[in-house]
Copies of this chain bind each other. A is one copy, B any other.
Amino acid sequence: MPKPKYHIIVCTNSRPPGHPRGSCGEKGGSDVMMQFYEEMQNLGFFDQVLITGSTCTGPCQIGPMVIVYPEGTWYQKVTPSDVKEIMEEHIGKGKPVERLKVPDNLWG
């Protein structure tokens, strides 16, 4: 395998229903991951993209979280309908999707 140019990490961590922190799994993280796989197929990005599911990344309240390396771009509240844009713009053209980025003031 070639070394992946991009690594897309999707939080799929689950907690029981009603847990005070919620979870990316509860908010649809697994569906988001599956949509990334589907778009990878559609766009033929197999050789350049690694997609992995992840345990908890921290800011559960704004999940599902997606992190894209090498840029270290953190995306919040990602839905399956956002995935095509991330794949086409960020992965395809190298332009991170500003409207989905975690705002700077989240980081304390």
Contacts and interface: CB of A to CB of B under 8 A. Distances in A.
A56 B3 CA distance: 14
Given A1-B107, A3-B107, A74-B3, A53 B50 contact: no
A56 B55 CA distance: 13
Copies of the protein in its oligomer: 2
B57 A54 contact: no
Q: Mostly helix, strand, loop or mixed at chain A's interface?
A: loop
Interface stretch (A14-22, A65-73, A79-87): A65-73
A86 B69 CA distance: 20
Interface of A: 1-4, 7, 9, 11, 50, 52-59, 67, 69-70, 72, 74, 107-108
